[in-house]
């Protein structure tokens, strides 16, 4: 039973930590009910995604294709297109039409939320089927990757709605094109390795040299991570400028000093908790500690810092929701 809850924590906590990070970057917080609904729709998107992915995989398995071709087609057509396509529908036709979606940063927040809804369910399914070691790998690869896909997608959806003089069709094209491309490029090396019957740690060879398959995929995660952080920082800067214009005193209370220190300390505690949980998972896999010591280490060394860190970063901010659009 303890192992089951450790597996659930390993599957869910990474998504929660990433969601908190992007939510805290939003100076004007979103209604929790709308975020929860967006997250739930992201989870439900798994149903139509499977209705597309399973027939595509069946068709590819019946075709006489080179293993490399099969892996690439499965990455793009069998995974990237349906997954990003249905997340795009959630963001565009639910989140962006809600009255709470009233500024460019909201695109990133709701994009990440919808993506992590899907990623959380996917991670739970993989964890139940593949064990804790797979959950650990996905915690630092697939889950962040989904969040960054959503951030980039949401950014362009927000630009399509709020950027003065923007070509809406072009922005929405970018909102769908880039997440699909990044997703496909992330999955392709791993699925090619699977198709040719090699472990992801085997070198690709050829023009890439002796680079393991998973290193290429992880490199894509790094690229999209940098991209998503830069886009978020740009919109956060715009929010702070707007806040300063609206209320100089409130801006002075939020930007420097206490709040930054509070969020930084909370983030550090969250990181410590993740390290402790990782230790507990590794110890459980090796069987080096009994269930009782593991439970004590997880509760005291992991759960307490997690709850304290979460309470610090979730402390209500003294910022008024803006009532007017920027000029």
Query: Mind spelling out the 3-state secondary structure of 23-64?
Result: HHHCCCCCCHHHHHHHHHHHHHCHHHHHHHHHHHHHHHHHCC
CA–CA–CA angle 326, 155, 51 (5° rounding): 140
pLDDT for 52 beyond 60: yes
Residue with tokens 């990181």: 271
Q: Distances from the Cα of 153 to the Cαs of 30, 65, 113, 156, 275, in angstroms? A: 18, 32, 12, 6, 30
- Cβ-contact 221, 189 below 8 angstroms: no
Q: What average pLDDT does range 194-207 have in this prediction?
A: 71
Rg (CA), the chain: 21
Residue 314: per-residue pLDDT: 67
CA distance 35 to 154: 14
Residue 214: per-residue pLDDT: 80
Contacts 24+ apart (CB under 8 A), 118-121: 118/42, 118/43, 118/45, 118/46, 118/49, 118/83, 118/86, 118/87, 118/146, 119/15, 119/42, 119/143, 119/146, 119/147, 120/11, 120/12, 120/15, 120/43, 121/43, 121/46
- Of 143, 118, 108, the C-alpha closest to 30 is 108
The fraction of the chain above a pLDDT of 70, given in percent, is 73
- Cβ-contact 320, 253 below 8 angstroms: no
CA distance 265 to 88: 34
- Which region among 221-225, 272-276, 288-292, 318-322 has the lowest average model confidence (pLDDT)? 318-322
Q: What element of type H or E holds 258? A: helix 258-286
pLDDT for 320 beyond 50: no
Is the full-model pTM beyond 0.85?
no
CA–CA–CA angle 210, 213, 218 (5° rounding): 115
Please give the full DSSP string across 167-191, using - where no structure is assigned. Answer: -HHHHHHHHHHHHHHHHHHHHHHHH
- Tens of pLDDT, residue by residue over 173-192, are 999 999 999 999 999 998 98
Q: What average pLDDT does range 25-41 have in this prediction?
A: 93
Residue 207: per-residue pLDDT: 54
Residue 44: per-residue pLDDT: 93
Residue 205: per-residue pLDDT: 60
pLDDT for 310 beyond 60: yes
Residue 297: per-residue pLDDT: 62
Residue 183: per-residue pLDDT: 96
- Which region among 45-59, 88-102, 147-161, 313-327 has the lowest average model confidence (pLDDT)? 313-327
- Cβ-contact 202, 214 below 8 angstroms: no
- Tens of pLDDT, residue by residue over 109-139, are 999 999 999 998 888 887 776 666 777 777 7
pLDDT for 327 beyond 70: no
- Cβ-contact 60, 73 below 8 angstroms: yes
CA distance 176 to 153: 6
Average pLDDT score, the chain: 81
- Tens of pLDDT, residue by residue over 252-288, are 444 545 656 776 777 777 777 777 766 666 666 666 6
The fraction of the chain above a pLDDT of 90, given in percent, is 43
Residue 326: per-residue pLDDT: 44
């Amino acid at each position: 039973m303890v192992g089951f809850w450790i597996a659930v924590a390993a599957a869910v906590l990474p998504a929660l930590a990433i969601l908190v990070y992007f939510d805290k970057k939003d100076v004007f917080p979103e209604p929790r009910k709308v975020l929860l609904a967006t997250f739930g729709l992201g989870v439900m998107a798994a149903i139509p995604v499977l209705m597309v992915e399973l027939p595509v995989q069946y068709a590819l398995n019946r075709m006489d294709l080179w293993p490399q071709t099969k892996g690439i087609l499965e990455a793009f057509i069998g995974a990237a297109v349906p997954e990003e396509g249905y997340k795009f529908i959630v963001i565009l036709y639910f989140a962006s039409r809600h009255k709470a979606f009233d500024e460019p940063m909201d695109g990133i927040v709701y994009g990440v939320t919808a993506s992590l809804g899907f990623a959380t369910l996917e991670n739970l399914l993989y964890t139940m089927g593949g064990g804790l070691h797979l959950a650990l790998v996905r915690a630092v690869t697939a889950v962040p990757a989904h969040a960054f896909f959503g951030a980039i997608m949401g950014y362009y959806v927000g630009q399509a709605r709020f950027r003065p003089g923007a070509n809406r069709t072009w922005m929405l094209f970018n909102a769908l094109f880039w997440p699909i491309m990044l997703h496909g490029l992330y999955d392709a090396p791993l699925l090619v390795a699977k198709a040719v019957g090699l472990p992801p740690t085997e070198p690709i060879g050829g023009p890439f040299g002796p680079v393991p398959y998973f290193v290429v995929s992880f490199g894509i995660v790094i690229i999209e991570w940098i991209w998503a952080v830069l886009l978020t920082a740009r919109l956060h800067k715009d929010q702070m400028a707007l806040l300063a214009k609206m209320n100089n005193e409130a801006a002075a209370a939020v930007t420097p000093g206490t709040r930054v220190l509070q969020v930084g300390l909370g983030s550090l505690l969250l990181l410590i908790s993740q390290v402790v949980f990782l230790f507990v998972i590794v110890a459980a896999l090796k069987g080096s500690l009994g269930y009782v010591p593991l439970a004590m280490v997880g509760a005291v060394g992991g759960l307490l810092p997690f709850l304290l860190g979460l309470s610090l970063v979730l402390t209500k901010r003294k910022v008024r929701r803006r009532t007017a659009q920027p000029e």
